[in-house]
Amino acid sequence: MIQSEYINELVIRLNTVLLEKLNSLYIIGSASFDDYIENKSDIDVFGLINTPLTKPEKDQLEHILDDTNFPCPAAGLDIVLMIKEYVEEINPKPSYDFWFSTGQNWPKERWAEGSSTEMVIFIELCRQHGIKVYGIQPPVKFQKVDTPLILNAFKQILRWHTDYVLDDFHDHNGQNSVLNACRILMYIETKKFYSKTTGGIQFLIGEPNNLTVQKALRIRQNERFEKITKEEILKFIKQVEKRIDQAIK
């Protein structure tokens, strides 16, 4: 397992705070697709809890997971904790109890408990590709997320990329925006999830001369590259948004 020492310590720290509340933990994202790239990928963790967390528990989690107290060996840590019932019965905007990201070069962010359409993607990614690193018995039964909910959530993700194009913290070269758009497009065509790298490669099979995607893949693979302009990224995202709208109709 990628960064296994860090993951093992993460499980211990969460258990120390949550005790019997912690139900299970999964690795999702690049590591679960065998697409983890040193110094570029973050560690994405999706966890299920049996009962809601208290504010003191959330404050303590933030403290013990903060990169200054628990240095992340990847680009950063992005962790979501959700009450297990929300993966057993799906709604269009699932609630989460704790969402926190931290990293040496990331701004520390903690989102108050709430709900987000993006959670349906986390749930389905975990159902299909999640790597369990901790879990009690009996295991939680994930319900399949319907395709229209996935597509609507993808639209929200593309809007985020549009608002934060060339973001200094997470995507200053723009490759993540482009390759996430590629993997969304491939989902529309195949109803399968892909990693960023595979999504870009699959896209180029159909459109081998697309320079924007070519550049994004070179950046991700640490090859020599030309910069991707903001205009290129926004144009590509808009094309994929149109494909989502067509698929939803």
- Section 21-48 average pLDDT: 94
Residue 126 lies in a domain: yes
* Domain that includes residue 212, residue range: 147-248
Percent of the chain whose predicted confidence (pLDDT) is above 70? 99
Please check whether residues 76 and 185 belong to one and the same domain. no
Residue 39 confidence (pLDDT): 79
Residue 20 lies in a domain: yes
Distance between CA atoms of residues 93 and 192, nearest Å: 21
Query: Total structural domains in the chain?
Result: 2
Please check whether residues 189 and 81 belong to one and the same domain. no
Confidence category of residue 2, pLDDT binned at 50, 70, 90:
low
- Section 189-196 average pLDDT: 95
Please check whether residues 13 and 64 belong to one and the same domain. yes
- End-of-domain residue from the set 109, 135, 161: 135
Please check whether residues 11 and 81 belong to one and the same domain. yes
Distance between CA atoms of residues 88 and 136, nearest Å: 16
Percent of the chain whose predicted confidence (pLDDT) is above 90? 88
- Decide if 113 contacts 97 (C-beta within 8 A): yes
Start-to-end CA distance of the chain, whole Å, equals: 41
| pTM, to two decimals | 0.94
Please check whether residues 26 and 70 belong to one and the same domain. yes
Please check whether residues 13 and 119 belong to one and the same domain. yes
Q: Which two tokens stand for residue 41?
A: 């990928």
Residue 60 lies in a domain: yes
Relative to beta strand 43-49, strand 114-115 is unpaired
CATH number of the domain enclosing 44? 3.30.460
Residue 141 lies in a domain: no
